[in-house]
Amino acid sequence: MSDYFDVIVIGAGPAGYHAAIRASQLGLKTACIDKWVDASGTGVLGGTCLNVGCIPSKTLLDISHKYSLAKDGFSGLGITTGKVGIDIATMQKNKRDIVKGLTRGVAGLLKANDVKVYTATAELGAGRKVTLTFTDGQSQELGADNVILATGSVPVDIPPCPMDGERVIDSEGALELAAVPDRLGVIGAGVIGLELGSVWSRLGAEVIVLEALDEFLPNADQQLSKEAAKQFKKQGLDIRLGTRVTGTRVEKNEVVVSYTDKQGDQELVVDKVIVAVGRRPFTQGVLSADSGVQLDERGFVQVNDLCATDAVSVFAVGDVVRGPMLAHKGMEEGIMVAERIAGAKPVVNYECVPSVIYTNPEVAWVGQSEEQLKAAGIAYTSGVFPMAASGRALASKETVGMIKVLADADSDQILGVHMMGAHVSELISEAVIAMEFGATAEDLGLTMFAHPSLSEGLHEAALAVSGHAIHISNRKKRK
């Protein structure tokens, strides 16, 4: 029957469309359902990542960085320019055009791989029955041998900061600003808050970031996070840690933010506020009471290490399940589940999931930090190479940052790599590959890297683990 499939994927974000394409490649009759529509009511694929997340934010980050360089950074290179301006409308059009091209590309890929696409809301019931509701109110029931939930996540809202879509906005609204605010408040100093704050700071806004935690970037290695905090403050971001927001109110086209810190009750007056305190899994209306799928206390779909739920032949991947909310993590989970349905036995190595913050300098890491290793009682050695000692970094005047390699004290196996600097979003993949294959610091030290290149910093950091670095003074010497 035409409405029965081997695999139904609910959600067409990175986790969902990767799962659907791979399942179809493996010979499984596959459908992919997503409710996202544009202003005209036309279905749009790609989920949060392509539409209001990864791609549009990186577009604005790149444009704003280039503007900042042209305005303030080229003179030191001997490049002179006239008065530099920014056309926000053109910047936003560029962003929309890129998003449109990529979302259409996903539609083309699904079509090319014979995936049946439905634009509708979907509710999973007992026995893997999926009820679709279309925008015109019509409904249809589908059935499948296997269902993959990939419904993603949505921004977290907090009671003290009710969003009005105009003055108090979430991360999606922050991507659509038509003008640079004079004063911008950002609630949350995580990845989203720092990236969006950086965009509008570069374009001329006075940005104040309020973070409830006392530590900056607590999930990153603290040596890097402390240095990153210094660099962001140097660039003009006013980052205030240990601040708990208690309320917001709009007065005369301004937003008054009330918060408490060590000094007591405080108020901050800004033109707009971005609420960027994180994201939560989206399951609203997706699961019927008899679906058999269970949620945990935080609203995530409960799964095992292979992304299987409590319901037979129902899986969940991406932001809707445990682990970091990262598009690439969801992609690998989606592919892994599709291949296991087809009879293969792949697994996702959750020890090798890279994290990246696309600020300037970029911050990236994979594996464990020094703080985590100490807490676990694992003996380790470390090697650190400053980018200021890199010939390529000096040549391009991108000398901020460092690369750190952490290795097991006995086996020398690499346990974590932490980077800050130019293009480390690309360099971190070298570390991921090394760790995926169980490399030691010595293995990296014996590997030939191109010269001159920024990646040599990873080579030198690996050599520094055993005190053999060439381009810096070693803290210890070993034969």
| CA neighbours closer than 13 Å in the CB half-sphere of residue 244 | 8
Separation of alpha carbons 233 and 229, rounded Å: 6
Helix (H) or strand (E) holding 255: strand 254-261
- What would the mean pLDDT of 454-463 be, rounded to a whole number? 98
Q: Is the dihedral of CA 294, 299, 304, 308 positive or negative?
A: positive
Assess whether the region 4-155+280-350 and the region 361-465 belong to the same CATH fold.
no
Give the whole-number percent of the chain exceeding pLDDT 70.
Answer: 99
More confident residue, 7 or 75: 7
Question: pLDDT class for 427, splitting at 50, 70, 90?
Answer: very high
First to last CA, the chain: 71
Q: What is the pLDDT at residue 479?
A: 42
Q: What is the pLDDT at residue 476?
A: 62
- Give tens-digit pLDDT for 148-206: 999 999 999 999 999 999 999 999 999 999 999 999 999 999 999 999 999 999 999 99
Residue 379 structure tokens: 């003996």
Task: Give the catalytic positions in this structure.
Answer: 451
Instruction: Give me the phi and psi of 295, to 5 degrees please.
Output: -105, 150
Helices and strands per DSSP (H, E), number in the chain:
13, 22
Written as one letter, the residue type at 259 is Y
Residue 36 structure tokens: 């996202």
Question: pLDDT class for 475, splitting at 50, 70, 90?
Answer: confident
Domain boundary assignment for the chain: 4-155+280-350, 168-277, 361-465
- Strands lying side by side in the sheet with 355-357: 355-357, 362-367, 414-421, 402-408, 380-386
Whether residue 117 contacts residue 32, with contact meaning beta carbons closer than 8 Å, is answered with yes
Judge if the upstream peptide bond of residue 354 is cis by omega within 30 degrees of 0. Answer: no
Q: Does residue 477 have a pLDDT over 60?
A: no
Q: What is the pLDDT at residue 2?
A: 65
The β-bridge partners of 209 are 186, 239
Residues 4-155+280-350: name the CATH superfamily: FAD/NAD(P)-binding domain (3.50.50.60)
- Give tens-digit pLDDT for 332-384: 999 999 999 999 999 999 999 999 999 999 999 999 999 999 999 999 999 99
For residue 138, the tally of other CB atoms under 10 A from its CB is 9
Q: What is the pLDDT at residue 163?
A: 95
Written as one letter, the residue type at 10 is I
Q: Does residue 231 have a pLDDT over 60?
A: yes
Q: If you average pLDDT over every residue of the chain, what do you get?
A: 96
| CA neighbours closer than 13 Å in the CB half-sphere of residue 433 | 9
SS (H, E, C) 361-383: CEEEEEECCHHHHHHHCCCEEEE
For the domain made up of 361-465, the CATH class stated in words is: alpha beta
- What would the mean pLDDT of 269-294 be, rounded to a whole number? 98
Question: What is the CATH T-level fold of the domain 168-277, as seen in this structure?
Answer: FAD/NAD(P)-binding domain (3.50.50)
- What would the mean pLDDT of 416-421 be, rounded to a whole number? 98
